Structure 1
């Protein structure tokens, strides 16, 4: 039985507890950490938990009754909290984004190595069948070489969304829609397409006067093979349509599920290729559905890694860092107005938090 402590009792904490509740024969919640205790008491009652409540995370560090820490606090706290638990030998599952700077990501990775503990970063969208279907088809090579990818992370948030104390500031949230909303789609894009070699981006704030950070961003990614991807990150899009589309040399595949295959007709004009579409559809249909999806899928992955002793998870700290590196490249390009080459070095103005706070644009004052 794996003993779990949940640190942080904001809105995402309920999602974690619901997911862990799917595995009552494999894990149990032994501790909740909440500064005031009020939210923790409500969660304890809501989920019928038999656990202790602590106001200080340091009280949990030495507990033998904690094997895994589920970290649900604001991004600015992730590095120090995760590092403390990892150095104490506790496994850590940290909510996205991993941390608001690469230096903090590296701090967490170092702590995991020193503490010989597992570090996993939440990326629950990898644990959904629709995106796994797209990846399976593309990995099979049926669509041909990917020549263009499109990630639309469209969300809509009203002004009062940023009335929450820690939102809308570089100090506590670490950025805007790129960091905290598009992080999901960027993770999926990197999972399927890999890291680009160059980024050019623009960020703006169009509609949220009580936020320092961006609410709209457009980025162009260039890959070593000369192909491109474009990423739109937004909290100003009505309808909140979100999609990933991959244009291969032979066919287009996307999520929500899209499939269109073309072949060259007279004069080079496109002619639909139903035979290839049928072949792709067959491969997509062969994928066995996941038993657990979303957060529950990721909790299952983490619990299996601990139970087996393998420490091998789908999204470890290195994978989580990749997403932050791409986000920082987007921010650096936007701040400088220049293309940014990847990988980022430690000399990058968006590597360490103190440099980010000095260089990042503040579109408005935080109310």
Structure 2
């Protein structure tokens, strides 16, 4: 039996708790921790959990009754908590984004390797049937080499969203919509299409004058083969219409799912390639649906990995790749130049200190509330 501690009992912790309770044949929640200890107590009552509760995660570091830790705290705390638990011999599942800087990611990965423990980063949108099927279709190469990718990570958040004490600041949240919303789509993008060679980006804050950070960014990624990708990250898009479109030389595929295949007429104008269209669609239809999706799917994966029954799909290296792309977007936008990948210690944005010194403040945060009375969250977007 895998014993689990959950650090941070805000809104996202419910997804972790529901998932662990789904797999009670393999795991058991034994501890909850939150700086606001009353929140942990309320969560234990809500889910009828008989657990140890503390306001300080360090109280659980030496516990021999904990095997796996879910970290659901604000991003700026992820690295210290993860490293402490990895050094204490615990496996770690950390919410997105992995950390506030690439330096912290590298330290977390070193701790995982040195202690021979699993470090997994939450990217629950990979664990959806449409995304997993799209990845498998791309792996077939039926659409030919990818020449252009369009990533639309469109969300909408009201002005009060950034009133929460840790949001909207470079120090506490680490960035704006690019880091904390588009992280899902950027993760899927790099998982499906690989890492580009360079990034050119711009950022702005159009609608949230209570936040230091951006509420929209647009980036162009270029690959060594000349192919391009455009990535829009936003919390100002009504309707939250989200998509990933991969244009191959022979066909386009996307999430939400759509396939269109074209071939050239004698004069270069297009006509439908019905045979290829039907082949790709038939291949897609034959792929199996996932047994568990979202956080359920990812927690099923990490439990199986701990038991030696599967490989962890999203490890610390994958988590770092995603943050590296986001960091490159910030560096390019802030410095007004194209940034080459990979990023290393020479990047001005490699450390938290470097980010804080070089990041532009669109506005200064003037209001902070400790908690909202309405803790409902929405996942947004089209799910087909």
Q: Identify the TM-score tier after normalising by the shorter chain.
A: over 0.9
- 2:341 and 2:35 map into 1 onto residues whose CA distance is 39
What does residue 212 of structure 1 align with? 212
SS at match of 1:247: strand
The offset of 1:255, in angstroms, is 0.3
What does residue 161 of structure 2 align with? 161
Deviation track 1:186-234 (CA, whole Å, cap 9, x = no partner) reads: 0000001000000000000000000000000000000011100000000
Answer with 41-50 or 240-249: which moved more.
41-50
SS at match of 1:262: strand
What does residue 146 of structure 1 align with? 146
What does residue 294 of structure 1 align with? 294
SS at match of 2:206: coil
What does residue 48 of structure 2 align with? 48
What does residue 170 of structure 1 align with? 170
What does residue 12 of structure 2 align with? 12
Deviation track 1:309-363 (CA, whole Å, cap 9, x = no partner) reads: 76x3000000000000000100000011100000012010010110110000000
Coordinate RMSD, CA, aligned: 0.9
Deviation track 1:55-80 (CA, whole Å, cap 9, x = no partner) reads: 11111001111000000000000000
What does residue 120 of structure 1 align with? 120
What does residue 222 of structure 2 align with? 222
The offset of 1:37, in angstroms, is 1.6
1:323 lines up with 2:319 in the alignment: no
SS at match of 2:267: helix
The offset of 1:114, in angstroms, is 2.0
Correspondences of 1:39-118 after superposition (within 5 Å): 39-118=39-118
What does residue 339 of structure 2 align with? 340
Answer with 296-305 or 34-43: which moved more.
34-43
- 1:355 and 1:346 map into 2 onto residues whose CA distance is 10
Deviation track 1:236-260 (CA, whole Å, cap 9, x = no partner) reads: 0010000000000010100001110
Give the TM-score taking structure 1 as reference length. Answer: 0.98
- 2:79 and 2:356 map into 1 onto residues whose CA distance is 16
Distance of aligned partners of 1:263 and 1:309 in 2 relative to their CA distance in 1, 3 Å threshold? closer
Deviation track 1:121-143 (CA, whole Å, cap 9, x = no partner) reads: 00001111101111111110110
The offset of 1:286, in angstroms, is 1.6
The offset of 1:266, in angstroms, is 3.5
- 1:100 and 1:85 map into 2 onto residues whose CA distance is 18
Give the TM-score taking structure 2 as reference length. Answer: 0.94
Unaligned runs of 5+ in 1: none
Deviation beyond 2 Å, 4+ runs, structure 1: none
Deviation track 1:148-201 (CA, whole Å, cap 9, x = no partner) reads: 000000000011000100000000100000000000000000001000000000
- 2:165 and 2:333 map into 1 onto residues whose CA distance is 25
Answer with 170-179 or 133-142: which moved more.
133-142
The offset of 1:302, in angstroms, is 0.1
The offset of 1:17, in angstroms, is 0.5
Q: May I ask how many residue pairs the two structures share in their alignment? A: 366
Unaligned runs of 5+ in 2: 367-384
Deviation track 1:86-141 (CA, whole Å, cap 9, x = no partner) reads: 00010000000000100010111111122221100000011111011111111101
- 1:200 and 1:53 map into 2 onto residues whose CA distance is 46
SS at match of 2:174: coil
SS at match of 1:231: strand
